[in-house]
Amino acid sequence: MLNLSRVGLVISRLALYQMARSSVAGGVLEIGSFCGKSTLFIALGCKHSDTAFYAVDPHTRISEAGKSNGGLNFQPFTGNSLGELRETLDSCNLAAYVTLLIATSEDARRQFTVQPLKLLFIDGAMIMMMFGWTMSYGTK
């Protein structure tokens, strides 16, 4: 059976790739890289357009992301998201095209100086409600 939420995810990641590789001037900033699914597509676009790319995430439990992409099997993540992110980028030879900032977006402001931006992708906050179970992501 066709899983529409997965199709939507693939399309949105292809859109990220296209925006990152566009010839518009400016750098790219991602807030909330987690294990790197979106980061991977953006990094490939930045490689193809020679664009500076910064990916920001504290990789702590300020907000516990889940490993499933929708559906009813959402499970809070208990692993090492920074390790998985590095492994993902390394396995595709894309690590050289991303500067990882291990910080919250608030703290990363001081480390991030690239302007203008051609793409700002914020995927750092969400609220999930399932069967009355609420999980909220925050910055503090």
Ligand X SMILES: C[S@@+](CC[C@H](N)C(=O)[O-])C[C@H]1O[C@@H](n2cnc3c(N)ncnc32)[C@H](O)[C@@H]1O
Q: Which residues bind ligand X (CB under 6 A)?
A: 31-35, 37-38, 56-58, 62-63, 65, 81, 104-105, 123-126, 137, 139
Q: How far is the CB of 77 from ligand X (least distance, A)?
A: 8
Total Cβ atoms within 10 A of residue 46: 23
Q: How far is the CB of 110 from ligand X (least distance, A)?
A: 13
Q: 45 vs 58, which CB is nearer to ligand X? A: 58
Q: 28 vs 65, which CB is nearer to ligand X? A: 65
Q: 21 vs 36, which CB is nearer to ligand X? A: 36
Residue from 127, 108, 92 nearest 31 by CA:
108
Question: Are the C-beta atoms of 36 and 59 separated by less than 8 Å?
Answer: no
Q: Which amino acid is at 37?
A: K
Quote the strand ranges of the chain, DSSP E. Answer: 27-31, 53-56, 99-101, 117-122, 127-130, 133-136
Q: How far is the CB of 131 from ligand X (least distance, A)?
A: 20
